[in-house]
Amino acid sequence: MNRRLAAAGISGLLIASLTLAGCGQRSAEPTAGATQGGGKKIAKIGLIAPLSGGLSAMGAGMRNSVDLAVKQANESGAIPGWELQFVSEDDQASPDAGKNAATKLTGDKDVVGVVGPLNSSVGQAIQPIFESAGIALVSPANTNPSLTKGADLANPKRAYTTYFRTCTTDDVQGPFAAKYLLDQGIKQVATINDKKAYGQGLASAFATAFKASGGDVVGEETINPDDKDFSAVISKVKAAGPAAVYYGGEYPQAGPLSQQMKAAGLNVPLMGGDGIFDPAFIELAGATSNGDLATSVGAPAESLASAKAFLDAYGKGGYKESYGAYGMYSYDAAQSIIEALKVSLKDAKDATSARKGTVEALGKVSFNGASGAVAFNEFGDSKARVLTVYKVEGGAWKADKTEDFK
């Protein structure tokens, strides 16, 4: 979600572009297109992301960032004798649509690696498809820990050898949020989640850590992803007297939930994860969202020296949409595949025969990406654990605290 925007706050230019992208408009195609020629062999890097629907603002930033990485690899001749091509598929933030997209990409003999998806629920649906095809899948945004460690987190076991991710996970993000609220003196919190894999997992990780550190979870409620009227659940939560509400889910529901909370007299901060960290949340929540909070993976791109080259190149790329919450991590995901391809394609006769070698090489990559050092552990998770808390101030997300969370 998934996902990340500001140095001591989001820059005015970025706010404007993100706001435009967050209006739910269908994303335009990237301006940077892969080319074929010179008798080079072809290998394709794919993308699966929501390119239509309510989360398309995030999806467009992911698509454009992967497109940029592929274009730069071709321009620099990163892989001698090979031309990389970029193909993208719309998963509509839906597991079923994701399966169709995955089936289409895995059926293409030239595809050797794929970036995506945004949603953990889509990730769960498509992991087996890519595993069967032996194609590497690198998500910049899936944060549910079970995707890499299995359902029994107490006894983690990697289920899919082809799956990796460049973002950190909810078993880090939830406790990070819990610690932040406790440090602010907030001891009583109610949780609400949208029953989806991402929302449930995040709210559960938050509640477990909050209670373990002395906090009191005074209520644990759920909504349906297509709900519009949250009055019933707000009444229950308000009666429990929380000092904050922690929401596991995404901004299309979180924004109206915050607005309706305040209208009902529940004037406490709503906090969520990277799924609500988007300007569209503030648009939906309205002026009373000032003081609401979100965590997101990594540090604000504008605060990182390592991200400067990416930001400059993206700005010059002519893309209509912002790179958004997950662009930097999508760029690094694509770069990790390209680093692996430098090994696997070197002596390969074609793309299909390089798939196994690409997965093997991917697990060993180690390089300095836009987000910082990029490498994967034994489960395929990013070794980085940097997170940031953002607060709504003056109608915009402002970075409040960045930490390498241990």
Would residue 9 count as lying in a domain? no
Number of domains forming the structure of the chain? 2
Mean pLDDT over 30-47 rounds to 70
**Residues 133 and 258 both lie in one domain:** no
Give the pLDDT confidence score for residue 2 in this predicted structure.
40
Using H for helix, E for strand and C for coil, what is the string for 54-121?
A: CCHHHHHHHHHHHHHHHHHHHHHCCCCCEEEEEEEEECCCCHHHHHHHHHHHHCCCCEEEEECCCCHH
**Residues 264 and 314 both lie in one domain:** no
The answer on pLDDT for 113 being more than 50 is yes
- Of 98, 11, 70, 120, the closest CA to residue 317 belongs to 70
Q: What is the distance between the alpha carbons of residues 27 and 319, in angstroms, rounded to a whole number?
A: 10
Would residue 75 count as lying in a domain? yes
**Residues 323 and 392 both lie in one domain:** no
Mean pLDDT over 156-183 rounds to 94
Over residues 324-370, the pLDDT tens digits come to 888 999 999 999 999 999 999 999 999 999 999 999 999 999 999 99
What is the DSSP code string of 187-245?
A: -EEEEEE-SSHHHHHHHHHHHHHHHHTT-EEEEEEE--TT----HHHHHHHHHH--SEE
The answer on pLDDT for 31 being more than 50 is no
Would residue 36 count as lying in a domain? no
For residue 405, name the pLDDT band (cuts at 50, 70, 90). Answer: confident
Question: Percent of the chain at pLDDT above 90?
Answer: 78
**Residues 370 and 397 both lie in one domain:** no
Q: What is the distance between the alpha carbons of residues 322 and 18, in angstroms, rounded to a whole number?
A: 5
| Cα dihedral 201/202/204/205 (nearest 10) | 110
* pTM assigned to the model: 0.80
CA distances for 310 relative to 44, 306, 330, angstroms? 21, 8, 11
Would residue 356 count as lying in a domain? yes
How many C-alpha atoms does 88 have within 13 Å on its Cβ side?
27
**Residues 397 and 258 both lie in one domain:** yes
Which residues pair with residue 277 across a beta bridge? Answer: none
Would residue 104 count as lying in a domain? yes
Give the chain's mean pLDDT.
90
**Residues 307 and 320 both lie in one domain:** yes
Give the pLDDT confidence score for residue 235 in this predicted structure.
98
For residue 386, name the pLDDT band (cuts at 50, 70, 90). Answer: confident
Mean pLDDT over 209-224 rounds to 97
Q: What is the distance between the alpha carbons of residues 296 and 167, in angstroms, rounded to a whole number?
A: 9
Question: What is the span of the domain harbouring residue 193?
Answer: 171-297+388-404
For residue 226, name the pLDDT band (cuts at 50, 70, 90). Answer: confident
Buried b (16+ CB within 10 A) or exposed e, 101-115: bbeebbebebbbbbb
The answer on pLDDT for 278 being more than 80 is yes
Over residues 47-58, the pLDDT tens digits come to 999 999 988 988
List Cβ neighbours of 154 (8 Å cut-off, separation of 6 or more). Answer: none
Give the pLDDT confidence score for residue 342 in this predicted structure.
98
CA distances for 59 relative to 21, 64, 195, 308, angstroms? 10, 9, 22, 22
**Residues 108 and 127 both lie in one domain:** yes
**Cβ atoms of 138 and 333 closer than 8 Å:** yes
**Residues 205 and 257 both lie in one domain:** yes
Would residue 108 count as lying in a domain? yes
Give the pLDDT confidence score for residue 27 in this predicted structure.
35
Mean pLDDT over 280-307 rounds to 92
Domain containing residue 128: CATH number: 3.40.50.2300
The single-letter DSSP state of residue 10 is: B
Over residues 65-90, the pLDDT tens digits come to 999 999 999 999 999 999 999 999 99
Give the pLDDT confidence score for residue 38 in this predicted structure.
64
Q: Is residue 90 packed enough to be buried (19+ CB in 10 Å), middle (13-18) or exposed (0-12)?
A: buried
Using H for helix, E for strand and C for coil, what is the string for 310-365?
A: HHHHHHHCCCCCCCCCCHHHHHHHHHHHHHHHHHHCCCCCCCHHHHHHHHHHHCCC
Lowest mean pLDDT among 20-34, 207-221, 278-292: 20-34
For residue 385, name the pLDDT band (cuts at 50, 70, 90). Answer: confident
The answer on pLDDT for 9 being more than 80 is no
**Residues 392 and 315 both lie in one domain:** no
Tell whether the torsion through CA atoms of 41, 63, 5 and 293 is positive or negative: negative
Give the pLDDT confidence score for residue 24 in this predicted structure.
28
Give the DSSP H/E element, type plus range, for residue 175.
helix 170-183
The answer on pLDDT for 10 being more than 80 is no
Give the DSSP H/E element, type plus range, for residue 398.
strand 396-404
**Residues 108 and 205 both lie in one domain:** no
**Residues 81 and 161 both lie in one domain:** yes
Give the pLDDT confidence score for residue 379 in this predicted structure.
96
Q: What angle do CA 291, 292, 294 make, to 5 degrees?
A: 130
Would residue 20 count as lying in a domain? no
Give the pLDDT confidence score for residue 19 in this predicted structure.
30
Mean pLDDT over 159-167 rounds to 95
At 121, list the tokens: 């629920």
Would residue 251 count as lying in a domain? yes
**Residues 316 and 331 both lie in one domain:** yes
**Cβ atoms of 69 and 310 closer than 8 Å:** no
Give the pLDDT confidence score for residue 198 in this predicted structure.
85
Mean pLDDT over 285-302 rounds to 93
CA distances for 302 relative to 145, 167, 177, angstroms? 27, 17, 22
